[in-house]
């Protein structure tokens, strides 16, 4: 049996998507034709819904954020046979808003969640919640998560907890191996599709570790897999789509 090609992206952040990265990943998908398509979450930025949002962020409209985020999801999942969307912490802000003490905000959030979930169904994707226990997508021996740790130790934390896993959330491209009785396991951060420089991180040094990228690979019938990382170098992305078996 031929292996099944897959692609994994994350952190496109609605109207904060990097247009160069967006164009590149769509061109890659056209060439690679992945049957399994996974979005690790934070498809929307929802910066005006976060706790502690600045007055400027609160004044932002959700229209562009929703339009660009939903358009990307529709285009990304179009043509996939197995589509998966894992909600991220930014996406979860909409769900958290349903617990608002203000009735108008609760009603808005409830209607918006219905719209969100309806769009995911139209994309023919299965959606998983942002939850460290049940928000795990298992594909063979590979686990996919949005990410539940941040900072320089994030990859190490994810490796200890989930072993073989792919994560987003940190916007970094990194990996961390751990030794187990079943051989070496590894967590892998795949970078982000959003802009690296954003207003909220203008004075943060950790953004200097951020990079655009995505992961892709082949899934075999026995659950084993081969995975590769696509990195951004300048305004170009480099990936191998003509994969051969020897």
pLDDT in the model for residue 244: 82
Backbone angles phi, psi at 59, to 5 degrees: -80, -15
Nearest C-alpha neighbor of 191 from the set 220, 219, 228: 228
Q: Could you give the 3-state DSSP secondary structure of residue 24?
A: helix
Mean predicted confidence (pLDDT) in 90-110? 87
pLDDT in the model for residue 60: 74
Tokens (6 digits) for 53: 């949002």
Mean per-residue pLDDT over the chain, rounded:
92
Question: How would residue 114 be classed by pLDDT, with cut points 50, 70 and 90?
Answer: very high
Percent of the chain with pLDDT over 90: 76
Placement of tokens 């792919």 in the chain: 166
Q: Which domains does the chain have, with CATH numbers?
A: 4-238 (3.60.21.10)
pLDDT tens-digit series, residues 45-87: 998 887 766 667 666 778 999 999 999 999 999 999 999 999 9
Q: Is the pLDDT of residue 41 over 80?
A: yes
Question: How would residue 104 be classed by pLDDT, with cut points 50, 70 and 90?
Answer: confident
Nearest C-alpha neighbor of 186 from the set 218, 221, 150, 229: 229
Mean predicted confidence (pLDDT) in 176-200? 89
Question: Do residues 37 and 5 lie in contact, with contact meaning Cβ atoms separated by under 8 Å?
Answer: no
Tokens (6 digits) for 97: 């808003």
| Residues β-bridged to residue 188 | 166, 175
pLDDT in the model for residue 223: 93
Mean predicted confidence (pLDDT) in 101-124? 91
pLDDT in the model for residue 59: 65
pLDDT in the model for residue 53: 63
Mean predicted confidence (pLDDT) in 155-178? 95
pLDDT tens-digit series, residues 189-211: 999 999 999 877 878 888 889 99
Placement of tokens 């049957």 in the chain: 35
pLDDT in the model for residue 62: 85
Question: How would residue 245 be classed by pLDDT, with cut points 50, 70 and 90?
Answer: confident
pLDDT in the model for residue 237: 96
């Amino acid at each position: 049996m031929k292996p099944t090609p897959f692609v994994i992206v994350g952190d496109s952040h609605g109207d904060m998507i990097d247009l160069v990265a967006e164009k590149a990943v769509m061109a890659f998908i056209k060439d690679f034709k992945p049957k399994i398509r996974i979005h690790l979450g934070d498809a929307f930025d929802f910066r005006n819904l976060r706790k502690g949002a600045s007055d400027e962020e609160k004044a932002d409209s959700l229209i562009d954020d929703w339009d660009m985020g939903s358009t990307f999801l529709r285009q990304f999942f179009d043509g996939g046979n197995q589509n998966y969307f894992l909600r991220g912490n930014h996406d979860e802000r909409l769900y958290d808003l349903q617990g608002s003490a203000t009735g108008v905000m609760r009603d808005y959030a409830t209607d918006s969640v219905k719209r969100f979930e309806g769009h995911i169904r139209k994309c023919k994707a299965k959606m998983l919640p942002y939850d460290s226990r049940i928000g795990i997508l298992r594909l063979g021996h590979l686990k996919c998560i949005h990410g539940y740790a941040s900072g320089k130790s994030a990859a190490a934390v994810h490796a200890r907890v989930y072993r073989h896993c792919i994560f987003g959330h940190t916007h970094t491209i990194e990996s961390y191996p751990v030794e187990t009785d079943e051989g070496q396991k590894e967590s892998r951060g795949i970078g982000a599709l959003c802009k690296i420089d954003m207003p909220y991180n203008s004075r943060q040094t950790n953004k200097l570790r951020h990079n655009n990228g995505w992961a892709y690979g082949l899934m075999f019938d026995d659950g084993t897999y081969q995975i590769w990382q696509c990195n951004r170098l300048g305004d170009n992305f480099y990936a191998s789509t003509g994969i051969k078996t020897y």
